[in-house]
């Protein structure tokens, strides 16, 4: 992951002001020095070349004077010797004499300086004695400085001397000067660069980076850092302003943090209160459910009672018809008894007139037997009808008792449970209303804290503005600081908007709690109505109980009368059996015909007595039967009354069920409001948490 | 302050003015940031005897005594304040002595301070001719920022020459 060296170098330059200055300055000075060196070198080369040419002209003039007489006398050998001597001189490459026609006069051996390594190389390469060609080769290869001097005598040109000088020394001198200049330049550039770098570091870079570190720490929320200020220049002012801002911020953040902690506490309390409200409405809801199930139980019990009443009514009707039948039978018995009485009277007469006709007597006895048989069967019928009445009455008693037990047990218990449930609903509603009122008060407390936060936010915003002013006056160095100031101002604005949002939330919490109190009040009212209805239902049930008791009493008296009737009927039956026996005995006595009329007379007397007895019993039975009929009618009326009041109770019970349903709906509304309240409180908690988190970023 | 704005073909270097904006009445005004030393919440104003009429009194800011000028009265607006919690004093320098002299401070009472805006100089126009009368000589220009119009106040012309002299005399009486 190591960056290449030139990348790292570029980064170093970008981040350091000293390096930038040093690089710019030294680059510029180096450029200037290089240009100067170039010009100096060019100038020196020109000067030296001109000096060499002057020297060439001097040498040429001396050589022309020395060679004049040799050329005039045509002494070429002498000329060659002279030239061969001179050509060995310093820097000289070649000396060539040419005639007027341009042909060389000196020989190749004499004309060129073989000691010079360049010339030696050219000579070795050319391998010839042609002076002109060799001179061209020297010119091409070595680029000498050339000078031509004319040899003239009395104005007439005799010959020309061409001198060629080496440039090596000139070049050597120029190189030395350039090296010297460059060396000096390097030393100057290095010293200036060092000085500039040191000054920049000392006066600008170090204090600015210290201030920047503190500003970054503030931006990150750490307010414990301070800038050490020792100068009174612009950078010193920047540091002092930064310290002032840090102290101001420290105070403010402390305030805000205190307020926010209080806010968190209050918010926690509000959450608790909201949880209480939720729990209370839960309890209320459960109580309503319980009351509802109790009311439903009662309702079903009342329906069952109604069914029982219907059964009772039916049974009573059946009993009534059976009793009427019985009465009819008894009437018949009475009529038969009257017949029997007259027959017995006739029998008595016949017995008294026994002697008159045995046949007539036997016929009468036959009629009597038939009649006795008929009577026996009628009695059996009566017995069965009476038994039916008895069992009906018993059933009536059992049903009336069941009605009483139901009304006393299920009905009364359900109504008491309903009243208890209603009372608890009322209590819980009252408690919920109290809790919600307290919640409203807490919300007002939060409002007070919010004004403190608003004030602190306002002050923060003002401080950030002043920081921006200070940063602007610190110039370029304050730029980073200006960014921090803008961020703090932004933070203050965000806190302000968050605060106003919390304010709005509190207003809505207050409104909702007022609404919740209203709903609770309605719930209490409904619960009171429900209690009233339940009490009315209890009264109605009490009436039913009384009527059921009356019914039971009637049924019992019916039962008792029927038991008496049964006894009477048993006696009638026995009597009828006795009549039968008597009739048989009479038959036997008649068939014997002679077993004694006294016995018959006695028997006849006895029979008359028994007939009287039976007659009386039958009259009693008729009376009892009438009684039974009356009682049955009364019982029917009562049963109908009971049936009507049972209907009333059922209507009351329906009303209670509806009231309970309304209460249930109210409780649901309460629960929904409580959950709304909960969610509002949750939003409040979240906002508070966000505020706290923002504040936790600061270290004081 | 400079800002480098790059177009597709050319690179333009714009000069930006940093303006602190504030409200007096319904209007938004601006002062160059270099003229302001700080903005504070209002301090209690002490009225001194024989003070010139346009001065409310003096305040003591960390040991420095300076005169106070209410811009609402100065601009001929009603005395009705908006939110007293938002009112600020802006401490400026250069209004009393003009350029070059010792930097004496002056406090201006404004309704509220808004923000620091960076405006390119070419967006600041000179004051319209109708607004350069004797009563509105303090308007140094009008800056357009988005759809807002900020009236830039010329710091050297807030007080007239006579007022400056009167203050200087008062200063001699109460050294």
DSSP A292-321: HHHHHHHHHHHHHHHHHHHHHHHHHHHHHH
- Tell me the pLDDT tens digit for each residue of A167-179: 888 888 888 888 9
- DSSP-derived letter for residue B48 is P
| Most confident among A59-63, A297-301, A557-561 (mean pLDDT) | A59-63
Confidence of residue A305 (pLDDT cuts 50, 70, 90): confident
Instruction: Find out whether A651 and A299 touch, Cβ atoms under 8 Å.
Output: no
Give me the pLDDT at residue B31, please: 92
- CB atoms near residue A662 (< 10 Å): 14
Instruction: Find out whether A133 and A107 touch, Cβ atoms under 8 Å.
Output: no
Angle at alpha carbon of residue A445, lines to A443 and A446, rounded to 5°:
65
Burial pattern A251-265, b for ≥16 Cβ within 10 A else e, equals ebbebbbebbebbee
Instruction: Give the tokens for residue A285.
Output: 């809801």
Q: Does A468 touch chain B (CB under 8 A)?
A: yes
Which residues of chain A does B113 touch, with a Cβ-Cβ cutoff of 8 Å?
A: 462, 465
**Listed residue (A375, A291, A329) closest to A659, CA to CA:** A291
**Listed residue (A414, A412, A402, A423) closest to A315, CA to CA:** A402
* Prediction ipTM score: 0.81
- CB atoms near residue A189 (< 10 Å): 19
In angstroms, the Cα distances linking B152 to A464, A562, B81 are 22, 122, 22
Instruction: Give the tokens for residue A665.
Output: 């709906």
Q: Which of A455, A458, A469 sits opposite B38 (nearest CB)?
A: A469
Report the C-alpha gap between A641 and A528 in whole angstroms: 30
Give me the pLDDT at residue B175, please: 41
Phi, psi of A620 (to 5 degrees): -60, -45
CB contact under 8 A, A473 and B18: no
| Start-to-end Cα distance in chain B | 38
| Most confident among A240-254, A397-411, A594-608 (mean pLDDT) | A240-254
Instruction: Average the pLDDT over A601-615 and give the result.
Output: 74
> Residues 24-83, chain B: which have Cβ within 8 Å of A?
33-34, 36-41
Place of tokens 């009662």: A298
CB contact under 8 A, A473 and B34: yes
Give me the pLDDT at residue B4, please: 61
Burial pattern A344-356, b for ≥16 Cβ within 10 A else e, equals beebbebbeebee
Report the C-alpha gap between A340 and B89 in whole angstroms: 138
- Tell me the pLDDT tens digit for each residue of A363-397: 666 776 787 778 778 778 877 877 887 787 788 77
Distance in Å, alpha carbon of B39 to nearest chain A alpha carbon: 6
Give me the pLDDT at residue B22, please: 92
Report the C-alpha gap between A259 and A456 in whole angstroms: 10
Burial of A218 (0-12, 13-18, 19+ CB in 10 A): buried
Instruction: Give the tokens for residue A560.
Output: 């008792």
| Most confident among A19-33, A310-324, A582-596 (mean pLDDT) | A19-33
Contacts (Cβ under 8 Å, ≥6 apart) of A38: none
Instruction: Average the pLDDT over A448-471 and give the result.
Output: 87
With 90 as the cut, is the pLDDT of residue B126 above it? no
Please give, one letter per residue, the 3-state secondary structure of A342-382.
HHHHHHHHHHHCCCCCHHHHHHHHHHHHHHHHHHHHHHHHH
Q: Does B112 touch chain A (CB under 8 A)?
A: no
Which residues of chain B does A462 touch, with a Cβ-Cβ cutoff of 8 Å?
A: 39-41, 88, 113
Instruction: Find out whether B122 and B17 touch, Cβ atoms under 8 Å.
Output: no
- Tell me the pLDDT tens digit for each residue of A544-574: 788 878 877 887 887 788 788 778 778 877 8
With 50 as the cut, is the pLDDT of residue B99 above it? no
CB contact under 8 A, B40 and A462: yes
Report the C-alpha gap between A255 and A452 in whole angstroms: 9
Q: Which of A458, A468, A473 sits opposite B116 (nearest CB)?
A: A468
Spans of all domains in chain B: 2-173
User: By mean pLDDT, which of A72-81, A329-338, B85-94 is the weakest?
Assistant: A329-338
Confidence of residue B174 (pLDDT cuts 50, 70, 90): very low
- DSSP-derived letter for residue A697 is T
- CB atoms near residue B121 (< 10 Å): 12
Confidence of residue B68 (pLDDT cuts 50, 70, 90): very high
Taken as a whole, chain A contains a residue count of: 700
Which residues of chain A does B20 touch, with a Cβ-Cβ cutoff of 8 Å?
A: 465, 469
Q: What CATH number does the domain located at B2-173 have?
A: 2.40.50.180
With 70 as the cut, is the pLDDT of residue B58 above it? yes
Which residues of chain A does B36 touch, with a Cβ-Cβ cutoff of 8 Å?
A: 469
What whole-number percentage of chain B has pLDDT above 90?
Answer: 15
Report the C-alpha gap between A470 and A241 in whole angstroms: 7
- CB atoms near residue B171 (< 10 Å): 13
What whole-number percentage of chain A has pLDDT above 70?
Answer: 92
Give me the pLDDT at residue A106, please: 81
Task: For residue B39, give the H/E element and its range.
Answer: strand B36-40
Q: What is the mean pLDDT of chain A?
A: 80
Instruction: Average the pLDDT over B67-94 and give the result.
Output: 81
Report the C-alpha gap between A436 and A662 in whole angstroms: 22
Confidence of residue A660 (pLDDT cuts 50, 70, 90): confident
Instruction: Find out whether A583 and A340 touch, Cβ atoms under 8 Å.
Output: no
With 90 as the cut, is the pLDDT of residue B90 above it? yes
Instruction: Average the pLDDT over A239-266 and give the result.
Output: 84
Burial pattern B8-26, b for ≥16 Cβ within 10 A else e, equals eeeeeeeeebbbbbbbbbe
DSSP bridge pairs for B18: B118
User: By mean pLDDT, which of A91-105, A394-408, B5-19, B134-148 is the weakest?
Assistant: B5-19
- DSSP-derived letter for residue A220 is T
Q: What CATH number does the domain located at A248-692 have?
A: 1.10.287.950
Distance in Å, alpha carbon of A507 to nearest chain B alpha carbon: 22
In angstroms, the Cα distances linking A293 to A288, A662, A669, B173 are 9, 14, 20, 95
CB contact under 8 A, B39 and A472: no
In angstroms, the Cα distances linking A61 to A19, A90, A155, A175, A660 are 63, 17, 15, 31, 148
Instruction: Find out whether A467 and A484 touch, Cβ atoms under 8 Å.
Output: yes
Instruction: Average the pLDDT over A180-187 and give the result.
Output: 88
Distance in Å, alpha carbon of B7 to nearest chain A alpha carbon: 24
CB pairs under 8 A between A and B: 33
3-state helix, strand, coil in chain A (%, to 5): 85, 5, 10
Cα A324 versus chain centre, distance? 80
Distance in Å, alpha carbon of A482 to nearest chain B alpha carbon: 10
Contacts (Cβ under 8 Å, ≥6 apart) of A179: none
Q: Does B118 touch chain A (CB under 8 A)?
A: no
Strand, coil or helix: B80 = coil
Give me the pLDDT at residue B89, please: 92
Higher pLDDT, A599 or A242: A242
Name the closest residue on chain A to residue B18, using Cα atoms: A472
Spans of all domains in chain A: 5-203, 248-692
**Listed residue (A379, A378, A392) closest to A569, CA to CA:** A379
| Strand pairing category for B64-70 and B57-61 | antiparallel
Please give, one letter per residue, the 3-state secondary structure of A507-550.
HHHHHHHHHHHHHHHHHHHHHHHHHHHHHHHHHHHHHHHHHHHH
Give me the pLDDT at residue A26, please: 87
Give me the pLDDT at residue B118, please: 87
Name the closest residue on chain B to residue A485, using Cα atoms: B116
Instruction: Give the tokens for residue A644.
Output: 């009507």
CB contact under 8 A, A469 and B115: no
Q: Which of B18, B85, B86 sits opposite A472 (nearest CB)?
A: B18
CB contact under 8 A, A462 and B85: no
Confidence of residue B107 (pLDDT cuts 50, 70, 90): very high
CB contact under 8 A, B113 and A462: yes
Which residues of chain B does A465 touch, with a Cβ-Cβ cutoff of 8 Å?
A: 20, 39, 113, 115-116
Instruction: Find out whether B129 and B112 touch, Cβ atoms under 8 Å.
Output: no
CB contact under 8 A, B34 and A472: yes
């Amino acid at each position: 992951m190591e960056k290449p060296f030139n990348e790292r170098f570029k980064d170093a330059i970008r981040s350091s002001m000293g390096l930038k200055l040093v690089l710019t300055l030294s680059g510029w000075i180096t450029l200037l020095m290089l240009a100067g060196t170039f010009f100096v070198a060019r100038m020196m080369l020109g000067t030296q070349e001109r000096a060499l040419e002057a020297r060439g002209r001097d040498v040429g003039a001396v050589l022309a004077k020395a060679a004049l007489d040799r050329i005039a006398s045509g002494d070429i050998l002498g000329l060659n010797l002279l030239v061969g001597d001179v050509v060995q001189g310093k820097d000289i490459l070649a000396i060539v004499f040419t005639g007027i026609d341009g042909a060389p006069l000196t020989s190749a051996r004499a004309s060129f300086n073989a000691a010079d390594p360049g010339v030696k190389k050219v000579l070795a390469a050319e391998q010839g004695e042609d002076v002109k060609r060799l001179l061209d080769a020297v010119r091409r290869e070595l680029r000498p400085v050339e000078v031509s001097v004319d040899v003239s005598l009395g104005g007439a040109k005799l010959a020309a001397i061409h001198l060629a000088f080496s440039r090596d020394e000139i070049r050597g001198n120029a190189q030395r000067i350039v090296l010297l200049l460059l060396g000096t330049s390097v030393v100057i550039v290095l010293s200036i660069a060092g000085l500039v770098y040191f000054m920049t570091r000392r006066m600008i870079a170090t204090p600015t980076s210290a201030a920047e570190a503190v500003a970054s720490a503030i931006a990150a929320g750490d307010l414990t850092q301070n800038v050490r200020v020792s100068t009174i220049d612009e950078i010193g002012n920047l540091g002092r302003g930064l310290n002032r801002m840090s102290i101001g911020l420290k105070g403010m953040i402390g305030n805000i943090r205190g307020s926010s902690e209080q806010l968190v506490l209050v918010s926690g309390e509000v959450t608790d209160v909201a949880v209480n409200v939720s729990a209370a409405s839960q309890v209320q809801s459960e109580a309503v459910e319980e009351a509802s199930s109790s009311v439903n139980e009662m309702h079903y019990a009342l329906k069952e009672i109604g069914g029982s009443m219907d059964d009772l009514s039916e049974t009573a009707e059946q009993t009534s018809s059976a009793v009427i039948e019985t009465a009819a039978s008894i009437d018949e018995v009475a009529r038969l008894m009257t017949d029997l009485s007259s027959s017995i009277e006739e029998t008595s007469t016949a017995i008294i007139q026994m002697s008159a006709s045995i046949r007539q007597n036997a016929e009468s006895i036959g009629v009597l037997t038939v009649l006795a048989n008929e009577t026996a069967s009628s009695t059996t019928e009566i017995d069965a009808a009476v038994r039916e009445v008895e069992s009906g009455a018993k059933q009536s008693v059992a049903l009336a008792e069941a009605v009483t037990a139901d009304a006393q047990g299920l009905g009364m218990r359900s109504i008491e449970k309903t009243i208890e449930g209603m009372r608890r609903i009322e209590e819980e509603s009252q408690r919920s209303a109290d809790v919600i009122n307290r919640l409203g008060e807490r919300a007002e407390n939060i409002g007070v804290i919010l004004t403190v936060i608003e004030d602190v936010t306002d002050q923060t915003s003002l401080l950030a503005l002043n920081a921006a002013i200070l940063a602007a006056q610190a110039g370029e160095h304050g730029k980073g600081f200006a960014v921090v100031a803008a961020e703090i101002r932004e933070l203050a604005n965000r806190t302000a908007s968050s605060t106003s949002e919390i304010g709005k939330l509190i207003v809505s919490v207050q409104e909702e709690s007022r609404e919740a109190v209203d709903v609770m009040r309605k719930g209490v009212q409904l619960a009171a109505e429900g209690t009233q209805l339940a009490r009315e239902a209890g009264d109605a049930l009490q009436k039913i109980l009384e009527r059921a008791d009356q019914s039971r009493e009637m049924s019992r008296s019916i039962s008792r009368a029927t038991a008496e009737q049964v006894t009477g009927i048993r006696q009638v039956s026995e009597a009828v059996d006795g009549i039968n026996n008597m009739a048989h005995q009479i038959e036997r006595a008649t068939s014997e015909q002679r077993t004694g009329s006294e016995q018959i007379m006695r028997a006849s007397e006895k029979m008359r007595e028994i007939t009287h007895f039976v007659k009386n019993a039958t009259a009693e039975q008729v009376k009892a039967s009438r009684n039974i009929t009356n009682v049955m009618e009364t019982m029917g009326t009562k049963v109908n009354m009971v049936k009507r009041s049972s209907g009333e109770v059922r209507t009351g019970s329906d009303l209670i069920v509806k009231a309970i349903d309304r209460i249930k709906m109210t409780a649901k509304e309460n629960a929904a409001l409580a959950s709304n309240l909960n969610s509002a409180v949750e939003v409040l908690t979240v906002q508070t948490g966000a505020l706290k988190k923002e504040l936790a970023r600061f270290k004081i | 302050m400079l800002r480098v704005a790059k177009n597709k073909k050319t690179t333009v270097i714009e000069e930006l003015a940093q303006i602190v904006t504030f409200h007096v009445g319904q209007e938004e005004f601006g002062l160059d940031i270099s003229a302001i030393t700080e903005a504070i919440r209002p301090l209690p104003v002490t009225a001194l005897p024989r003070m010139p009429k346009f001065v409310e009194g003096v305040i003591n800011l960390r040991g420095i005594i300076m005169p106070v000028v209410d811009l609402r009265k100065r601009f001929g607006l009603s005395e009705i304040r908006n939110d007293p919690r938002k009112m600020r004093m802006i401490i400026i320098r250069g209004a009393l002595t003009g350029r070059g002299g010792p930097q004496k401070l002056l406090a201006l009472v404004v309704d509220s301070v808004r923000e620091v805006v960076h405006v390119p100089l070419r967006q600041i126009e000179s004051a319209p001719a109708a607004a350069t009368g004797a009563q509105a000589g303090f308007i140094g220009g009008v800056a357009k920022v988005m759809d807002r119009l900020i009236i830039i106040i010329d710091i050297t012309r807030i007080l007239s020459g006579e007022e400056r002299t009167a203050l200087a005399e008062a200063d001699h009486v109460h050294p």
